[in-house]
Structure 1
Amino acid sequence: MTFTKTSQKFGQWADSRANTVFGLGFASEQQLSKFAEKFQEVKEAARLARDKSQEKIETSSNHSQESGRDTPSSTRASSVNGTDDEKASHGSPADEHLKSENDKLKTALAQSSMNVRKWETELQTLRESNARLSAALQESAASVEQWKIQFLASKEENDQLRNKIEELEAQCDEINKEKERNENLSVRLQELESELQDKELEFEDLRKRGEIVPQLMSECKSVTEKLQAAEQKNKDLEEKVRALRMDVEESKHRQGHLKTELKHFLEALDGKIEELHEFRQGLSKLGVDN
């Protein structure tokens, strides 16, 4: 028989005559080495005992053959029996030693068999756990793929929202420019109103002059013409002011409408950002679970 170390804590006991291989497991590498050394020691002792027994048998056989030529058969039988007794008395300690070592090896083999059954149970448990983990991993992989698709869809939607924000920002810039133009128009309107007041004062002054100074009748005619021209101009200015006021009101209405649109869009954007945040938390939780 032979014993071979196959790993640090495991060995194989091979019996070529019985065509059998036993696997033996040990708690530590020191125990394995000790067992291998003891196995080799017992094997060597058994070989020596076998050789000695073989030599004794051969010697006894030769001696009996030589004695048989000169002594009677009874004497030859006595010699043979004496040789057997000598052989039995000579081989008894080795047999006891071999029996003791055999018992120890049987005990170790039984313990190893129990360990093998225990390891087979643990191996089956590990295989079942591995199968469950593989199924969970496949399910997680499928979930990750689905979340990747959702993430790409959300990213595309986010890009669309970003483009919409850029468009709204451009519209806000136009609104600011329109507001600046409205402010300039308001300033121009105030200047025109101030000029109109000056014209009214001038008109009042000219009318007083026409009442007080009759000699200025000819001049009054020109003043009247100027007054008519001023009134016409005043009407034109009033029309312009009215048109400017309508433009201002329309600009204010359009600006309010754009603000309302921007507010709705920002609310929708906040909702999408919240969804993206929840989706990111889900991905983080999945990474921690994995």
Structure 2
Amino acid sequence: MTAGKETMGEQPIFTCKAHVFHIDPKTKRSWMSASSAAVSVSFFYDSSRNLYRIISVEGTKAVINSTITANMTFTKTSQKFGQWSDVRANTVYGLGFASEPELGKFIEKFQEVKEAIQAQQCGATGKSVTNGNSGAATPVASATASPLLAGRAAGGDEPPPAVSPAQALPKPEVEDMSVHQRAHSVSSTLQGGYATVGRAPRGPLASAGAPAIVDPPPADSSEQQLRYENDRLKLALAQSSANAKKWEVELATLKSNNLRLTAALQESTANVDEWKRQLHQYREEVARARHYAGKGAEANEVEQLRQRVAQLEAELAQKNEELAQITKSKKSEQVGEQETYMLYYSSAV
């Protein structure tokens, strides 16, 4: 803004503390927190343009920059929460107060400012504006001074210090201020009808583009607790998902190992069964041989048995040779005894 405007400044006529919310632009049915904590919300009077505005700044961010019009309606939706629609900003502002009396003071000031704007638009210069603190009535002053401030001066109250728009708003908001003010006349025509502060608009009195009244958000402590619990649950869910994936991999590995072990066990069991079958077969052959030898079987059977015995002797001789090679390093007495045993066994056969 220019130096002259900064010198003239905007005068805050009312200031309170509240938590600021904006309506969700997508759903139009839920609130989004615009401030991290309760911030100062002030009514300003722009003497250069003869306009009233509600401004709230958190750090370098303007969370509220709303030009008040005669058709605006502030609706109390709960004991500590209220809202109003700003067609120019294409949003709905919500304020959460620490107590119901603070909300009541804000509603009174909103209605007071609205009446002053209506008086200015109607050109009734003799119409008074009631001050919420002193109760004095003062005629509406010229466009160079706030009628509300004039009323306070008549009641003996000291006016708040002048604050320039450059101090009230960050730089981007100051640059857009002139554009917003030019849209003031358009926004006034877009809103329809009058409504009583503290009541929801009905029928033709409702604003044309105003969204439905939504429930107020929870208190600051409850909201912070819910956010903390939500973040904690999200973290726990992410950890559980990661652990579940690890467990799935471990389970697949265990299943694969179990299948391999089961296959190896089945193969071993089959081999043991085969060895048992062969052993049983050999025992049966030996039993038959003994039976034929004891009862004097026929000549051909005896011949077969002899051939079988000869075959077994040959196998035995081969095994003995292998055994001799293994025990070659033993003492010569042991070798002699082995040879004597073999000669004796041969003569016996």
User: In which range does the TM-score fall when normalised by the shorter chain?
Assistant: 0.3 to 0.5
Q: Which of the pair has more CA radius of gyration?
A: 1
Relative to its length, the structure with more helix (as a share) is 1
Which has the higher relative contact order, 1 or 2, with Cα contacts under 8 A spaced 6 or more apart?
A: 2
Relative to its length, the structure with more strand (as a share) is 2
Q: When the two structures are superposed, what TM-score results if normalisation uses the length of structure 2? A: 0.29
Q: When the two structures are superposed, what TM-score results if normalisation uses the length of structure 1? A: 0.33
